[in-house]
A and B are shown apart, each in its own frame.
Chain A
Amino acid sequence: MAEILGIGTSALLSLQKALSTTGHNIANVNTEGYNRQRVEFTTLPPQLSGSGFIGNGVQITTVRRAYDEFIAGQVLSQTASQSGLDAYVSLANRLDNLLASDSSGLSPALQQFFDSIQAVAANPSGLPERQVMLAEAQALADRFAFLDRSLVGLEAEVNNRLTVMVDEINGLATNIARLNQEITVATGTAGGQPPNDLLDQRDLLLTQLSKKIGITTVGLADGSVNVMIGSGQPLVVGAAAQPITTVASALDPNRLEIGIKTPNGGTAVISQFLSGGEISGVMDFRTRVLDPARNELGRLAAVVTDTFNAQHRLGMDSNGQLGADFFTPLSPVTVAATGNAGTATVAVTVTDASALAASDYRLNYDGSQWLVTRIADNKTVTGAGPFNLDGLTIAVSGTPALGDSFLVRPVHDAAGAFAVALTDVSRIAVAAPVRASANLSNTGTAAIAEVAVQSATGLPLAAPITLTFNPNALGAGVPGFDVGGGPGGPLAFDPALDSNGKTFTLSGFGDMRFTVRGIPQAGDTLVLEHNSGGRGDNRNGLLLAGLQTQRLVNNGASTFGEAYGSLVADVGVKTRQGQANLNTQNILLQQAVDARESVSGVNLDEEAARLLRLQQAYQAAARIVSVADGLFQTLLDATRR
């Protein structure tokens, strides 16, 4: 009888706990990170009697979380990938929109600038046209500056986000470490029973942490977990958190990297090891989209500056002087690493803007020679220098120490530094510095055409260069031009063979190239002279305008406009790729979350059914107690007589 009462009581107590657990599940249906809990019923040890084992009732051995460690790991890693891509795409989208817009992109400004040059070429003496050209040049500079500022702004934003995220990560790591300790204590106190709600809290923190940074976790026997980032750098070990920090890059103080404290008190940069999480999404955006875009834009600015200046210097302005630099000349930047011990310095000059690559270069001294790395594609050159590569001359002087390094940025800042140097409209070199004429008393038909100066050497011409035809210029019967006014030496020209045009080059006199056509008579004189007063001449203007359609960027691969187009395409493609990857990653994350929810999520219908079942069982157990009471009363009644 006592057994029946005991059995009933054990059932009532166990079912009460089960009902509480179901209630707890229902109550936490909206709690983030909550894993549904289940009580585990087992039979109480039976009592041996002569007729065998008699059951003794029920007990609850444990309350367990519905939890799958493998699925939880999946959710962590997919969360890290998804938030990384999400951060990447949201930043890339902004750059993407910026570059192609009519109002912020470079294309319209570039087009209007060259249109204004055409207008000047059409009316070389018109002051309004020249004013417009300077204004359009300024507008182009403003547009370059705007785009550069936007890119610099994105760099600053990357830095800010890294700083904020490092704080968040450290906060989360501290909380995880604290929970680790609480879990260890609670597990010990409860004699090995799992502290489910603490575990849920820690799992939630781990999920939040993996949104920020990719992590790997290792569970320990005492219930705590160790959290590793990157390639195994510890973030949480048991009850201790090891904070990470932001450090300025040795080669660029404006660029933050992620560092971790080393045992000897220093800080080691671990950015390159990190993968997954917002933090690496943001850094990926910086290295894969932002840096190339800034260098590409800078290269375009550098090539426009250099080629336009080169052509402009070959022209002649309204004052009869040779053209000056139209845009402020390039100044490549070199940065010495903060820890350099030697006295070496690096000087960089641009020798051929068309060959410039859209990249920075890193110089490392290994004790005997320099290693030059083109950062965009990690192509390397070694030697003592000077190095001639990609249209640059990188000269190293002084005594370097082992491990010294430099960063060379030929074009990185060129878009921001792009500026119009010319302020006086009369200094726009629309004319060519040399004009050709045939002496009016010539009896022959020879004329000079297609005069092109190729350097500023020897210009403006001090004296007219005269070409006088002499049938015996190069000896009896060998016709040619006697040359007066400097270059010297007769030029062979046989009217019988060369009347369709023969091209000459006068080196040292603007390296002038010209073609003589027609049939000269003896004594006929052709003249090349300084083009003084040539305000109606637009030859250099046409050449300047023609730069627009020449393929001058990237070793003759593209025009200015095409180079900008390929920048837009590059960012567009990377953004699109990011979006596609994000879409895929969203599905993968959804699947992992679905799998977790399938195991751990609370289903209210299920709990309702369980509630009903437990309620019925409870009613039945109460009945057992009542029956036990009835039996007892029966017995009392039987013995009352």
Chain B
Amino acid sequence: MRISTAQIHQGGIDTILAQQTRLSKTQLQVATGERILTPADDPVGAVRMLDLAREIAIVDQYQRNGDMARTQLSLEDSALTASGNVLQRVRELALQANNDVLSANDRRAIAVEMQAKLDELLALANARDANGDYLFAGYQTGSQPFTISGGAVVYSGDQGQRLLQVGPAMQISVADSGAQVFQLISTGNGVFDIDTNAGNTGSAMVGTTSVNGVFVPDSYTLTFSQIAPGAAVTYQVVGAASGLVASGTYRADAAIVFGGAKITVSGAPADGDSFIVAPARRQDIFSSLSDMIATLQNSGTDAASKAQFHNAVNRGLNNVDQALDHLLRVRGDVGARLNNLDSQQNINEDYILQLEQTLSSVKDLDYAEAVSRLNLQMVALEAAQQAFVKTQGLSLFNFL
């Protein structure tokens, strides 16, 4: 084929320019360490990069939420631990006060300490987090959840539970409401509760209580009767709905069984003495403590008063035990959430690692390949330049 002089010249220049373009792109890749300089280089890869970077950012945010959740849960856990310790001390004080050798004054002294414990518990229930928000107020984190009104502790929070997103499909609860922690505590043995009639004149005291099969919810009245002094004491149990369910001759510490409940009574009941066995209610921990304090402040010395006192303290102790169990359950729940959080955070971390590896494989340059390509392109450019100079020197006019 015939070639024109301009063509030879232009062809040489075009080759050099093309080589320079390729070289410049490789150089930019090596300088930035990135394989994809604009989406047009690899549209699929570029979008994959965007997707992966977004996914990493989202999971990173889950991790930050998780750290936040851990802080909140740890705060709650320490408040719960402290509350448990307070209740343990209350329990010790109650046991101590329940001893007959103590005088009314001693008991009043104990009542003073118990009041201090009640205040301490109240302070714990009104604990705040680093932002000044109340921990146990449900959604009402701006106002103090537990206040004293008319001598009783009133809960003004709600039952909301705050969740945080810690994984793609996992929200974790970072707070329990004060109602959940301090208020919804069963009385008695958790199933039923025994109330001593305030007018009892005998020395009958409630002993052990247990559930026998399935407790049939009803309000039962256990009444003792004695036809004449010295005669045998009999009892009968009448349910408000179920009518007469049990009766018999009273023997101290013998089990009285009815409606799924099994109780023992000791001491000498007087004629007409009665106890009321009702399904357990929910009671807040503060009323249980206040009741106990009131009991400690007014202890009598006669047999009937003693029996009343011990029955009240025992009942209070039952409530404290329930509260301790309850706190333990909440703490167990918090611990379980922390465990869940740990495993979710581990999963997140692994996921981020995987995503980053994938991102790196999409985004990052293979340096070995790129550098050898760079060398090759430099050699090619040099060759093109030399060839250009050499061929440009050739002309027939040189020989004319």
Query: A residues within 8 Å of B by Cβ?
Result: 29-30, 36, 92-93, 96-97, 99-100, 105, 107, 111, 114-115, 118-119, 121-126, 431, 435-438, 440-443, 521, 531, 533-539, 542, 545-546, 548-549, 561-562, 564-566, 568-569, 571-573, 575-576, 579, 590, 594, 597-606, 608-609, 611-612
Cα(A604)–Cα(B393), bound, Å: 13
**Chain A residue at smallest Cβ distance from B129:** A123
Residues of A within 8 A of B139 (CB): 431, 435, 531, 533-537
Please judge, given known A-B contacts A93-B40, A126-B131, whether A443 and B281 are in contact too, CB under 8 Å.
yes
Residues of B within 8 A of A119 (CB): 64
**Chain B residue at smallest Cβ distance from A612:** B400
The reply to whether B50 and A608 form a contact with Cβ atoms under 8 Å apart is no
**Chain B residue at smallest Cβ distance from A34:** B6
Interface residues as binary, B32-68 with A (CB distance below 8 Å gives 1, 0 otherwise): 0000001111111011001101100110010011001
- Among A536, A569, A579, A609, point to the contact of B160 (Cβ < 8 A): A536
Cα(A36)–Cα(B158), bound, Å: 97
B133 at the interface (CB under 8 A from A): yes
7 example contacts (A-B, Cβ-Cβ < 8 A) are as follows A435-B138, A534-B139, A536-B134, A561-B54, A564-B50, A604-B397, A608-B397
The reply to whether A608 and B281 form a contact with Cβ atoms under 8 Å apart is no
Interface of A is mostly: helix
A66 smallest CB distance to B (angstroms): 9
- Among A96, A549, A608, point to the contact of B38 (Cβ < 8 A): A96
A457 smallest CB distance to B (angstroms): 23
Residues of B within 8 A of A125 (CB): 131, 133, 141-142
Residues of A within 8 A of B143 (CB): 533
Please judge, given known A-B contacts A93-B40, A536-B139, whether A603 and B158 are in contact too, CB under 8 Å.
no
- Among B4, B40, B400, point to the contact of A576 (Cβ < 8 A): B40
The reply to whether A572 and B141 form a contact with Cβ atoms under 8 Å apart is no
The reply to whether B395 and A605 form a contact with Cβ atoms under 8 Å apart is yes
Residues of A within 8 A of B134 (CB): 536
The reply to whether A107 and B54 form a contact with Cβ atoms under 8 Å apart is yes
Please judge, given known A-B contacts A443-B281, A535-B140, A538-B163, whether A565 and B40 are in contact too, CB under 8 Å.
no
Cα(A416)–Cα(B280), bound, Å: 64
Interface residues as binary, B1-44 with A (CB distance below 8 Å gives 1, 0 otherwise): 11111110000001000000000000000000000001111111
Instruction: List 6 A-B pairs, minimum CB-CB distance, nearest first.
Output: A601-B4, A536-B141, A572-B39, A572-B43, A534-B139, A537-B139
Interface residues as binary, B128-150 with A (CB distance below 8 Å gives 1, 0 otherwise): 00010110011111110000000
Cα(A99)–Cα(B47), bound, Å: 11
- Among A545, A572, A573, point to the contact of B165 (Cβ < 8 A): A545
B282 at the interface (CB under 8 A from A): yes
Cα(A30)–Cα(B171), bound, Å: 76
Cα(A602)–Cα(B138), bound, Å: 92
B326 smallest CB distance to A (angstroms): 14
B142, B165, B175 — which one has the most chain A CB atoms within 10 A of its CB? B165
The reply to whether B38 and A115 form a contact with Cβ atoms under 8 Å apart is no
Cα(A125)–Cα(B165), bound, Å: 17
**Chain A residue at smallest Cβ distance from B168:** A549
B356 smallest CB distance to A (angstroms): 16
B183 at the interface (CB under 8 A from A): yes
The reply to whether A533 and B40 form a contact with Cβ atoms under 8 Å apart is no
A130 smallest CB distance to B (angstroms): 12
Task: List 19 additional A-B contacts (Cβ < 8 Å) besides A99-B39, A536-B142, A549-B168.
Answer: A105-B50, A440-B282, A443-B217, A536-B137, A536-B141, A542-B165, A564-B50, A568-B39, A569-B46, A576-B40, A597-B3, A597-B4, A597-B7, A598-B1, A598-B3, A601-B5, A602-B5, A604-B397, A608-B397
User: Which range holds the interface residue count of chain B?
Assistant: 35 or more
Cα(A106)–Cα(B376), bound, Å: 38
Please judge, given known A-B contacts A535-B140, A569-B43, whether A443 and B282 are in contact too, CB under 8 Å.
yes
Cα(A125)–Cα(B133), bound, Å: 8
B344 smallest CB distance to A (angstroms): 15
The reply to whether A549 and B50 form a contact with Cβ atoms under 8 Å apart is no
Cα(A442)–Cα(B281), bound, Å: 8
Cα(A107)–Cα(B162), bound, Å: 29
Residues of B within 8 A of A594 (CB): 1, 7
**Chain B residue at smallest Cβ distance from A578:** B40
The reply to whether B160 and A537 form a contact with Cβ atoms under 8 Å apart is yes
The reply to whether A568 and B4 form a contact with Cβ atoms under 8 Å apart is no
B159 at the interface (CB under 8 A from A): yes
Interface residues of B in 267-304 (CB under 8 A from A): 279-282, 284
The reply to whether B142 and A535 form a contact with Cβ atoms under 8 Å apart is yes
The reply to whether A534 and B131 form a contact with Cβ atoms under 8 Å apart is no
The reply to whether A603 and B159 form a contact with Cβ atoms under 8 Å apart is no
**Chain B residue at smallest Cβ distance from A566:** B47
Residues of A within 8 A of B138 (CB): 435, 536
A618 smallest CB distance to B (angstroms): 15
Cα(A587)–Cα(B156), bound, Å: 81
The reply to whether A107 and B50 form a contact with Cβ atoms under 8 Å apart is yes
- Among A122, A535, A549, A565, point to the contact of B58 (Cβ < 8 A): A549
Please judge, given known A-B contacts A443-B279, A594-B7, A608-B397, whether A568 and B158 are in contact too, CB under 8 Å.
no
Cα(A604)–Cα(B217), bound, Å: 118
- Among A546, A575, A590, A605, point to the contact of B39 (Cβ < 8 A): A575
The reply to whether A100 and B46 form a contact with Cβ atoms under 8 Å apart is yes
Cα(A611)–Cα(B396), bound, Å: 11
Cα(A571)–Cα(B46), bound, Å: 11
Residues of A within 8 A of B41 (CB): 576
B179 at the interface (CB under 8 A from A): yes
- Among B43, B58, B183, B279, point to the contact of A548 (Cβ < 8 A): B58
B265 at the interface (CB under 8 A from A): no
Cα(A325)–Cα(B61), bound, Å: 26
**Chain B residue at smallest Cβ distance from A560:** B54
Cα(A126)–Cα(B131), bound, Å: 7
Residues of A within 8 A of B65 (CB): 118, 121-122
Residues of B within 8 A of A549 (CB): 58, 168
B211 at the interface (CB under 8 A from A): no
Residues of B within 8 A of A608 (CB): 395-397, 400
Residues of B within 8 A of A105 (CB): 50
Please judge, given known A-B contacts A437-B179, A598-B4, whether A609 and B396 are in contact too, CB under 8 Å.
yes
B370 at the interface (CB under 8 A from A): no
Residues of B within 8 A of A126 (CB): 131
B233 at the interface (CB under 8 A from A): no
**Chain B residue at smallest Cβ distance from A538:** B162
The reply to whether B133 and A536 form a contact with Cβ atoms under 8 Å apart is yes
Please judge, given known A-B contacts A440-B179, A443-B281, whether A602 and B39 are in contact too, CB under 8 Å.
no
Cα(A443)–Cα(B219), bound, Å: 13
A168 smallest CB distance to B (angstroms): 24
Interface residues of B in 97-155 (CB under 8 A from A): 131, 133-134, 137-143, 155
